[in-house]
Amino acid sequence: MDHLEELTEFARLHARGQGMKPAHADSVLAGIDNDTVGDPASWAAVWTGAGKVAEARGDLLDACRHYALARFPYHADDDRVLAQSLCVDTFDRWRQAQQGIQRLEFSTLEGSFAAWASGLDARRPKPLVIVMGGIVSVKEQWAPLLPLLRKLGFAAVVTELPGVGENTLRYAPDSWRMLTSLLDRLEGRARVADTSMLALSFSGHLALRAAAQDRRISRILTVGAPVTDFFTDEEWWPRVPGITVDTLRRLTRTDSETELRSVLAELALTPQELRRVRIPVRYVASSRDEIIPARDQALLRRDVEDVRFKVFDDVHGSPAHLGAMRRWLFSSLLRLRLRGAPAQELTVPAAPTPLDAPAPLDERPRHD
């Protein structure tokens, strides 16, 4: 599979994940015949042009979806840098017309990162939800969840994995410290000791490693998170898509695949770390996942005390089952949160949620 073909295959999945109609995504993709910077028929140029059409008709969120795909899988050339900037700026304009969504910026010695937030309140701190995507997902893709989470009674923060979008930190074995730093900085504006992580793909791995160290993380909900074998299995690695490998090299700032594999080996979670994850973990798995090996799920079952799985017959991220996946994640989040909530919090505010028709629960305990 060549570069453009692989880009197209993955973009269709991510377009669907953002709610874009397949026919529309196909129409945009039909106008692309190269990935050359500056070419009007290039990947970034065509997606950016489609975003500007959406922006011109006043649909700023739809414009953001197109700009997010224009900078896909990462913004390393001038055209993708422009698309990344347009994605952030357009979302910023959209959120200013909404109520209660704010921008947060954080600096560290290693770099900086940004977030969109809702429901932060120093007078009445609420339980916290942190939402993070994977190695190609910018925070703007998930930020429309903020009004929903606020209505459900949470303070919510949407941010990015190190190296993704506006996050200038390097993706490395100690990247989990970013979450601890974020919780430190949100102290007083949210109940950080009651933090839920809605962490997709590689950020799910980040959340697991952080939870082994930071007891303020109370529950993890994830989709297709790598655990151990993805990072270490020599036989699995040749099956990993080229875009995934290239993106990981970008995020880890490694110069070769050999150097990348060395860094990734340090990211593998040990049995001792997994046994320190003494909180509920809810995991959406895909039976035909082309990125994450099935053995990673088996390790979670073996070493994490409270883990449940929802399995879909799908590829990585279960893009063909988005509705059922989101219902399961949100219903799991609410059940887990209410399970440990004080009595006065056991009434969830009414809100238009994806829970109206809950998916059947075929959760599987770790010792199946």
pLDDT surpasses 80 at 358: no
Mean pLDDT of the region 318-345: 82
| Amino acid at residue number 182 | L
Q: Which of 202, 185, 206, 194 is nearest to 115 (CA)?
A: 185
Q: Rounded distance, CA 325 to CA 322, Å?
A: 5
Residue 361 reports pLDDT greater than 80: no
CA 267, CA 251: separation in Å to the nearest integer?
A: 13
What tens digit of pLDDT does each residue of 120-174 get?
A: 999 999 999 999 999 999 999 998 899 999 999 999 999 999 999 999 999 999 9
- 23 contacts: CB under 8 Å, gap ≥ 6: none
Question: What residue segments make up the domains of the chain, in order of their start?
Answer: 3-90, 102-341
Share of the chain above pLDDT 90, in %: 82
Q: Over the stretch 35-74, which tens digit does the pLDDT of each residue have?
A: 999 999 999 999 999 999 999 999 999 999 999 999 999 9
Predicted local distance difference test score (pLDDT) of residue 359: 32
User: Which pLDDT value is given to residue 135?
Assistant: 96
Which tens digits make up the pLDDT trace of 258-303?
999 999 999 999 999 999 999 999 999 999 999 999 999 999 999 9
User: From CA 270, how far away is CA 13, in angstroms rounded?
Assistant: 31
Q: Which CATH fold would you assign to the domain 102-341?
A: Rossmann fold (3.40.50)
pLDDT of residue 272: 97
Q: Is the peptide bond preceding residue 73 cis, with omega within 30 degrees of 0?
A: yes
CB 277 within 8 A of CB 209: no
* Mean pLDDT on 248-255: 97
Across the chain, mean pLDDT equals: 90
**Range scoring the smallest mean pLDDT among 35-39, 103-107, 245-249, 314-318:** 314-318
Q: What is the pLDDT of residue 339?
A: 79
Extract long-range pairs of 344-352: CB within 8 Å, 24+ residues apart.
345/153, 348/152, 348/153, 349/151, 349/152, 349/153, 350/151, 351/148, 351/151, 351/152, 352/148, 352/151
**pLDDT at position 353, please?**
36
Contact indicator for 35, 43 with CB cutoff of 8 Å: yes
Helix, strand or coil, per DSSP, at residue 106? strand
pLDDT > 70 fraction of the chain, expressed in percent and rounded: 92
pLDDT of residue 17: 82
pLDDT in the model for residue 2: 66
Mean pLDDT of 334-345: 70
pLDDT exceeds 90 at position 307: yes
Half-sphere exposure of 155 (CA within 13 A, CB side): 22
Mean pLDDT, residues 87-113: 94
Residue 364 above 70 pLDDT?
Answer: no
- pLDDT at position 341 is 59
Quote the pTM value: 0.90
pLDDT score for 211: 98
Per-residue pLDDT at 216 exceeds 90: yes
Which of 77-81, 98-102, 343-347 tops mean pLDDT? Answer: 77-81
| Residue 298 neighbours by CB under 8 Å, 6+ apart | none
Q: Which of 31-45, 151-165, 176-190, 314-328 has the lowest mean pLDDT?
A: 314-328
